[in-house]
Amino acid sequence: MISIAAAAAPASQSALHPAGPDAAIIAQLGWVLFGGGALVFVGVMAVCALSLRKGRPVRPLVWIAGAGVLLPLAALSALLVFGVWNSAELIRPSSQHAVKISVVARMWWWEVRYTDPAGGGDIVLANEIHLPVGQPVYLGLSSGDVIHSFWVPALAGKVDTVPGRLHGMTLQADRAGVYRAQCAEYCGEQHARMALHVVAQPPDEFQAWLAAQARPARGGGAGAGQGRRAFIEQRCVACHTIRGVSDGVAAGLGPDLTHVGSRLYLGAGALRNQPGALAAWIADPHSVKPGVRMPASADMDGATLRALAAYLEQLK
Amino acid sequence: MPPLARPVPICPLRARSCAAVLLCAGVLAVLVGCDEDRPAPPAVVGGDAARGRLLLAQYQCGSCHQIPGVEGARGMTGPALDGFGGRSYVAGFMPNYPDALMRWIVDPPAVKPGTAMPAMGVSAEDVRHMAAYLYALK
């Protein structure tokens, strides 16, 4: 049954292709319920067909009390016990893990913060979470505006992010890969384009990535001056932070862009991060994701737009 | 012996109505034969339009351009590419021939320094297919 489903769904966002312990438990529970339900359905249809035959009298009490009360009682009790026992195996949220990640859901992107292992300031990024394979990490989930829900189907179940509350979640990936997560609670116009990518890496690659993210933005070389100037002059700095460039400006309204060039996607999964995509997003984000809070660039000429996009693309 | 019947005419209508019908039919035939007066779009050697459609989606050209038939191509930053096969100019100043189009797609700033369209790393192989698809747009 699993292999039939495997042919259909894209594996990176499929609850039917579990890559973590929680998702495996949920998938198993789902298949047992599906199988049991299918059996019950077939049985009821068979009895219905038999009952339409002419002739043989039946003893109603046997069928009503036996098949109608006792049998469901037994089956459902068994399923209840199985379900409760299975659910108890789900990882309990615990913040006693080495890697702690804060995730704040906003309309319609995800702010992600790591603690700097070297003791510096927080490592802030957006719409992407990296974690070491096989090690549980703690996610502290909250929301900045309305109720969202953090759901990475291949790894775990849904956890709502409620403004004013902090929901803890322990996440573990047992296989390296990229898993797509999706907001699972309707939150407004672009709820459908509020994706996040979870990248599970070997522990040493993860440490290297984290160290790179902790560094401030690269200078960018000779050609980057025009782009960096445009970032400030076009007032991108009013909402976006690039550590090393916009220090001293309290932004945070939009995603942190210090290492935006290293991300897989832009706009919370709206565009793949390829050459040209940043220019498209900056020029008019609304043609990609109508209704986002970011305004289209009003008076940037072509050369400035390209320079700004090129500068951001090399912030890896 | 019954009188000889009048010969049955071939056309049941009278002569003047017949002439009117034939004239109308002739005019319609001429009009239907007319097509819009545009030259046929150029052919791109070695270009596969079906592959080009997929490549246009893969390079996310639709994030800036509206392109009929390409999924997600709704961008308003650059001009819409409807009917590109019939356009006279590429980028507003180069006559619309395959070589010019392919040079433009591969490196726009080299062709037109002030343009907003960036180079997207399109390979020489891929640009042929993309050009073939664009020329197929009528």
Structure confidence by residue, pLDDT tens digits, A181-202: 999 999 999 999 999 999 999 9
ipTM of this complex: 0.80
Alpha-carbon torsion, ordered A254, A256, A262, A268, to 10 deg: -30
Minimal Cβ distance to A303: which of B64, B77, B114? B114
Residue B41 to residue B101: CA distance in whole angstroms: 13
Mean pLDDT, chain A, integer: 89
Alpha carbon A312 to its chain centroid, in Å, reads: 24
Asked if A103 contacts A149 with a C-beta cutoff of 8 angstroms, the reply is no
The C-alpha atoms of residue A99 and residue A114 are separated, in whole angstroms, by 8
Interchain pair B60, A272: CB under 8 A: yes
Residues 6 or more apart whose CB falls under 8 angstroms from that of B47 comprise B128, B129, B130, B131, B132, B133
Look at residue A110 and tell me whether its pLDDT is greater than 90.
yes
- Is the omega angle on the peptide bond into residue A108 within 30 degrees of 0, that is, cis? yes
Q: A275 to chain B: which residues are within 8 Å by CB?
A: 118-121
Q: So what's the pLDDT on residue A9?
A: 39
**Which residue in A has a C-alpha nearest to residue B105's C-alpha?**
A276
Q: What backbone torsions phi and psi does residue A214 show, to the nearest 5 degrees?
A: -75, -25
**pLDDT for residue A3:** 40
Taking the C-alpha atoms of residue B14 and residue B8, their distance in angstroms, rounded to an integer, is 12
Which of B59, B63, B66, B106 should be substituted to probe chain A, the one whose Cβ sees the most A Cβ atoms within 10 Å?
B63
Instruction: Read off the pLDDT of residues A130-175 as tens digits, 9 standing for 90 and up.
Output: 999 999 999 999 999 999 999 999 999 999 999 999 999 999 999 9
CA distance B138 to B135: 8
User: What is the pLDDT confidence band of residue A106, given thresholds at 50, 70 and 90?
Assistant: very high
Is B60 in contact with A310 (Cβ distance < 8 A)? no
What's the mean per-residue pLDDT of chain B?
86
Give the chain B residue nearest A281 (alpha carbons).
B63
φ and ψ at residue A212, rounded to 5 degrees: -65, -40
The nearest CA of chain B is from the CA of A239 a distance in Å of 22
Average pLDDT over residues A32-37: 89
pLDDT in tens, A44-70: 898 889 888 877 778 888 888 888 888
Instruction: Write the single-letter amino acid at B17.
Output: S
